[in-house]
Structure 1
Amino acid sequence: MSLGTITPIPRSFDEAKTREFYVGFLGFKVDWEHRFEEGTPLYMQVSKDGCVLHITEHFGDCSPGAAVRIVASDVDAYQAELIAKQYKHSRPGVEDMPWGSREMSIKDPSGNRLTFFSNSPEISS
Protein backbone atom coordinates (compact mmCIF):
# COMPACT_ATOMS: atom_id res chain seq x y z
CA MET A 1 0.00 0.00 0.00
CA SER A 2 1.26 3.47 -0.80
CA LEU A 3 -0.12 6.97 -0.98
CA GLY A 4 0.24 9.36 -3.88
CA THR A 5 0.46 13.09 -4.28
CA ILE A 6 -2.17 15.45 -2.94
CA THR A 7 -4.06 18.19 -4.79
CA PRO A 8 -5.07 21.15 -2.60
CA ILE A 9 -8.29 22.93 -3.61
CA PRO A 10 -8.31 26.62 -2.64
CA ARG A 11 -11.61 28.52 -2.84
CA SER A 12 -11.94 31.45 -5.25
CA PHE A 13 -14.45 34.31 -5.24
CA ASP A 14 -13.26 36.38 -8.21
CA GLU A 15 -12.07 34.70 -11.40
CA ALA A 16 -10.18 37.71 -12.79
CA LYS A 17 -8.29 38.38 -9.54
CA THR A 18 -7.56 34.67 -9.12
CA ARG A 19 -6.07 34.43 -12.63
CA GLU A 20 -4.06 37.63 -12.11
CA PHE A 21 -2.63 36.23 -8.87
CA TYR A 22 -1.92 32.59 -9.78
CA VAL A 23 -1.00 33.03 -13.46
CA GLY A 24 0.23 36.61 -13.72
CA PHE A 25 2.00 36.89 -10.36
CA LEU A 26 2.95 33.39 -9.17
CA GLY A 27 3.69 32.10 -12.68
CA PHE A 28 1.36 29.10 -12.70
CA LYS A 29 -0.26 28.02 -15.97
CA VAL A 30 -3.87 27.00 -16.49
CA ASP A 31 -3.93 23.30 -17.42
CA TRP A 32 -7.69 23.04 -17.87
CA GLU A 33 -10.92 24.59 -16.69
CA HIS A 34 -14.48 23.36 -16.35
CA ARG A 35 -17.95 24.86 -16.04
CA PHE A 36 -21.17 22.87 -16.16
CA GLU A 37 -22.53 25.57 -18.48
CA GLU A 38 -22.03 29.25 -19.29
CA GLY A 39 -22.40 31.48 -16.24
CA THR A 40 -21.77 28.73 -13.70
CA PRO A 41 -18.84 28.58 -11.25
CA LEU A 42 -15.35 27.87 -12.50
CA TYR A 43 -13.27 24.85 -11.49
CA MET A 44 -9.74 24.83 -12.89
CA GLN A 45 -6.35 23.24 -12.52
CA VAL A 46 -3.21 25.37 -12.40
CA SER A 47 0.35 24.12 -12.16
CA LYS A 48 3.94 25.27 -11.88
CA ASP A 49 6.67 22.68 -12.14
CA GLY A 50 5.52 19.77 -9.92
CA CYS A 51 2.96 21.80 -7.95
CA VAL A 52 -0.69 21.25 -8.95
CA LEU A 53 -3.67 23.11 -7.48
CA HIS A 54 -7.37 22.86 -8.26
CA ILE A 55 -9.15 26.18 -7.75
CA THR A 56 -12.91 26.27 -7.27
CA GLU A 57 -15.68 28.84 -7.18
CA HIS A 58 -18.25 26.19 -6.16
CA PHE A 59 -20.02 26.63 -2.82
CA GLY A 60 -19.35 23.70 -0.52
CA ASP A 61 -16.16 22.47 -2.23
CA CYS A 62 -13.97 23.89 0.51
CA SER A 63 -13.71 26.73 2.98
CA PRO A 64 -11.97 30.00 2.20
CA GLY A 65 -8.90 30.75 4.27
CA ALA A 66 -7.12 27.45 3.68
CA ALA A 67 -3.38 27.07 4.28
CA VAL A 68 -1.16 25.16 1.85
CA ARG A 69 2.58 24.43 2.20
CA ILE A 70 4.53 24.04 -1.05
CA VAL A 71 8.13 22.85 -1.28
CA ALA A 72 10.34 25.20 -3.32
CA SER A 73 13.84 24.23 -4.37
CA ASP A 74 15.04 27.81 -3.79
CA VAL A 75 12.53 30.03 -2.02
CA ASP A 76 14.89 33.01 -2.17
CA ALA A 77 15.14 32.85 -5.97
CA TYR A 78 11.34 32.55 -6.24
CA GLN A 79 10.88 35.53 -3.93
CA ALA A 80 13.28 37.61 -6.05
CA GLU A 81 11.31 36.65 -9.18
CA LEU A 82 8.04 37.72 -7.54
CA ILE A 83 9.42 41.01 -6.19
CA ALA A 84 10.71 41.89 -9.67
CA LYS A 85 7.13 41.72 -11.00
CA GLN A 86 6.12 44.70 -8.79
CA TYR A 87 2.68 43.14 -8.15
CA LYS A 88 0.69 45.84 -6.38
CA HIS A 89 -1.07 43.49 -3.94
CA SER A 90 1.90 41.58 -2.53
CA ARG A 91 5.61 42.00 -1.88
CA PRO A 92 6.37 38.81 0.03
CA GLY A 93 9.35 38.39 2.32
CA VAL A 94 11.29 35.28 3.30
CA GLU A 95 11.81 34.25 6.93
CA ASP A 96 14.12 31.81 8.66
CA MET A 97 11.93 29.60 10.82
CA PRO A 98 13.02 28.10 14.17
CA TRP A 99 12.52 24.58 12.74
CA GLY A 100 15.16 25.19 10.05
CA SER A 101 13.23 26.12 6.93
CA ARG A 102 13.13 29.37 4.95
CA GLU A 103 9.53 30.36 4.23
CA MET A 104 7.58 32.85 2.16
CA SER A 105 3.86 33.15 2.89
CA ILE A 106 1.45 34.88 0.53
CA LYS A 107 -2.32 35.26 0.77
CA ASP A 108 -4.31 34.91 -2.44
CA PRO A 109 -7.26 37.22 -3.28
CA SER A 110 -9.69 34.87 -1.48
CA GLY A 111 -7.70 34.74 1.76
CA ASN A 112 -5.99 31.37 1.24
CA ARG A 113 -2.40 31.27 2.52
CA LEU A 114 0.29 29.70 0.37
CA THR A 115 3.58 29.07 2.14
CA PHE A 116 6.51 28.27 -0.12
CA PHE A 117 9.45 26.78 1.76
CA SER A 118 12.94 25.46 1.34
CA ASN A 119 14.38 23.17 3.98
CA SER A 120 17.85 23.32 5.37
CA PRO A 121 19.94 20.28 4.30
CA GLU A 122 19.34 18.48 7.59
CA ILE A 123 15.53 18.60 7.21
CA SER A 124 13.94 16.38 4.54
CA SER A 125 11.04 17.60 2.38
Structure 2
Amino acid sequence: MKLTAPIPVLRIFDEAKAKAFYVDWLGFTVDWEHRFGDDFPLYLQVSRDGCVLHLSEHHGDATPGSRLRIHCDDIDGFATDLKQRPYKFAHPGAPEKMPWGTRELTLGDPFGNRLTFSSPPG
Protein backbone atom coordinates (compact mmCIF):
# COMPACT_ATOMS: atom_id res chain seq x y z
CA MET A 1 0.00 0.00 0.00
CA LYS A 2 1.31 3.45 -0.90
CA LEU A 3 -0.11 6.87 -0.11
CA THR A 4 0.51 9.83 -2.37
CA ALA A 5 0.40 13.57 -1.76
CA PRO A 6 -3.13 14.87 -1.05
CA ILE A 7 -4.88 17.09 -3.56
CA PRO A 8 -6.56 19.99 -1.77
CA VAL A 9 -9.92 21.30 -2.97
CA LEU A 10 -10.26 25.07 -2.72
CA ARG A 11 -13.56 26.92 -3.02
CA ILE A 12 -13.80 29.55 -5.76
CA PHE A 13 -16.68 31.82 -6.75
CA ASP A 14 -15.63 33.26 -10.10
CA GLU A 15 -13.95 31.38 -12.95
CA ALA A 16 -12.27 34.45 -14.48
CA LYS A 17 -10.82 35.60 -11.14
CA ALA A 18 -9.63 32.08 -10.33
CA LYS A 19 -7.84 31.71 -13.67
CA ALA A 20 -6.33 35.20 -13.42
CA PHE A 21 -4.84 34.31 -10.02
CA TYR A 22 -3.88 30.62 -10.38
CA VAL A 23 -3.05 30.42 -14.10
CA ASP A 24 -2.04 33.88 -15.28
CA TRP A 25 -0.23 35.01 -12.12
CA LEU A 26 0.92 31.90 -10.22
CA GLY A 27 1.77 30.03 -13.42
CA PHE A 28 -0.41 26.95 -12.95
CA THR A 29 -1.79 25.10 -15.98
CA VAL A 30 -5.42 24.03 -16.33
CA ASP A 31 -5.29 20.23 -16.63
CA TRP A 32 -9.02 19.70 -17.04
CA GLU A 33 -12.41 21.30 -16.36
CA HIS A 34 -15.81 19.76 -15.63
CA ARG A 35 -19.39 21.00 -15.51
CA PHE A 36 -22.45 18.79 -15.24
CA GLY A 37 -24.21 21.00 -17.80
CA ASP A 38 -24.59 24.51 -19.13
CA ASP A 39 -24.78 27.12 -16.39
CA PHE A 40 -23.55 24.63 -13.75
CA PRO A 41 -20.69 25.26 -11.30
CA LEU A 42 -17.14 24.67 -12.49
CA TYR A 43 -14.76 22.06 -11.06
CA LEU A 44 -11.21 22.05 -12.40
CA GLN A 45 -7.70 20.83 -11.78
CA VAL A 46 -4.67 23.09 -12.03
CA SER A 47 -1.03 22.11 -11.60
CA ARG A 48 2.45 23.51 -11.62
CA ASP A 49 5.39 21.13 -11.39
CA GLY A 50 4.38 18.59 -8.72
CA CYS A 51 1.71 20.78 -7.10
CA VAL A 52 -1.87 19.80 -7.98
CA LEU A 53 -4.94 21.73 -6.80
CA HIS A 54 -8.65 21.27 -7.40
CA LEU A 55 -10.77 24.42 -7.59
CA SER A 56 -14.52 24.18 -7.15
CA GLU A 57 -17.51 26.49 -7.52
CA HIS A 58 -19.74 23.77 -6.01
CA HIS A 59 -21.41 24.75 -2.75
CA GLY A 60 -20.27 22.41 -0.01
CA ASP A 61 -17.09 21.16 -1.70
CA ALA A 62 -14.80 23.29 0.43
CA THR A 63 -14.80 26.14 2.90
CA PRO A 64 -13.65 29.58 1.81
CA GLY A 65 -10.72 30.79 3.88
CA SER A 66 -8.75 27.54 3.79
CA ARG A 67 -4.99 27.56 4.14
CA LEU A 68 -2.46 25.24 2.59
CA ARG A 69 1.30 24.94 2.52
CA ILE A 70 3.20 24.33 -0.69
CA HIS A 71 6.86 23.36 -0.54
CA CYS A 72 9.06 25.29 -2.98
CA ASP A 73 12.72 24.42 -3.59
CA ASP A 74 13.57 27.97 -4.79
CA ILE A 75 11.41 30.44 -2.87
CA ASP A 76 13.48 33.43 -4.03
CA GLY A 77 13.14 32.40 -7.68
CA PHE A 78 9.40 31.93 -7.19
CA ALA A 79 9.05 35.39 -5.59
CA THR A 80 11.05 36.96 -8.43
CA ASP A 81 8.86 35.17 -10.99
CA LEU A 82 5.70 36.55 -9.35
CA LYS A 83 7.06 40.10 -9.33
CA GLN A 84 7.64 39.87 -13.09
CA ARG A 85 4.04 38.86 -13.78
CA PRO A 86 1.45 41.64 -13.65
CA TYR A 87 -1.37 41.12 -11.11
CA LYS A 88 -3.04 44.25 -9.84
CA PHE A 89 -4.53 42.68 -6.70
CA ALA A 90 -1.28 41.57 -5.01
CA HIS A 91 2.28 42.74 -4.78
CA PRO A 92 4.15 40.26 -2.58
CA GLY A 93 7.26 41.21 -0.69
CA ALA A 94 10.30 39.06 -0.08
CA PRO A 95 9.96 35.65 1.58
CA GLU A 96 10.21 35.84 5.37
CA LYS A 97 12.58 33.78 7.54
CA MET A 98 10.55 31.80 10.07
CA PRO A 99 11.70 30.75 13.57
CA TRP A 100 11.51 27.06 12.57
CA GLY A 101 14.05 27.54 9.77
CA THR A 102 11.96 27.86 6.62
CA ARG A 103 11.50 30.92 4.43
CA GLU A 104 7.89 31.57 3.50
CA LEU A 105 5.69 33.68 1.26
CA THR A 106 1.95 33.71 1.96
CA LEU A 107 -0.51 34.83 -0.72
CA GLY A 108 -4.27 35.22 -0.50
CA ASP A 109 -6.42 34.22 -3.45
CA PRO A 110 -9.52 36.25 -4.45
CA PHE A 111 -11.74 33.91 -2.39
CA GLY A 112 -10.05 34.17 1.00
CA ASN A 113 -7.88 31.06 0.69
CA ARG A 114 -4.25 31.45 1.82
CA LEU A 115 -1.37 29.69 0.10
CA THR A 116 1.93 29.58 1.99
CA PHE A 117 4.88 28.76 -0.22
CA SER A 118 7.70 27.42 1.93
CA SER A 119 11.37 26.64 1.37
CA PRO A 120 13.07 23.68 3.04
CA PRO A 121 14.60 24.44 6.47
CA GLY A 122 18.23 25.39 6.62
TM-score (norm 2): 0.96
Aligned to 1:95: 96
Q: How far has the Cα of 1:92 moved from its partner? A: 1.4
**Percent identity (aligned):** 54
Cα drift, residue 85 of structure 1: 1.3
Contact 2:100 2:121 in 1 (8 A): no
Q: Aligned ranges for residues 77-88 of structure 1 at < 5 Å? A: 77-88=77-88
**1:110 — aligned with what?**
111
After TM superposition, list the pairs within 5 Å mapping 1:47-58 onto structure 2. 47-58=47-58
Distance 1:75 1:107 in 2: 17
The answer for the alignment partner of 1:33 in structure 2 is 33
Please state how far the C-alpha of 1:4 moved relative to its aligned partner: 1.6
Distance 2:78 2:91 in 1: 12
Take 2:53 and 2:110, find their aligned partners in 1: how far apart are those partners? 15
Runs of 4+ in structure 1 deviating by more than 4 angstroms, as ranges, are: none
- Structure 1 runs not aligned, ≥5 long: none
User: C-alpha separation between the residues in 2 aligned to 1:6 and 1:102?
Assistant: 22
**Cα deviation, residue 5, structure 1:** 1.3
Partner SS state of residue 109, structure 1: coil
Distance in 2 between residues matched to 1:15 and 1:81, nearest whole Å: 23
2:83 alignment partner, SS class: helix
Local SS of the residue matching 1:82: helix
1:27: how far off? Answer: 0.2
Query: What CA RMSD, in Å, does the superposition of the two structures yield over aligned residues?
Result: 0.9
CA–CA distance in 2 between the matches of 1:52 and 1:61? 17
Shift in Å, 1:3? 2.1
Distance in structure 1 (CA, Å) of the matches to 2:47 and 2:3: 20
Q: Which runs of 5+ in 2 are unaligned?
A: none
Question: Secondary structure at the residue paired with 2:54?
Answer: strand
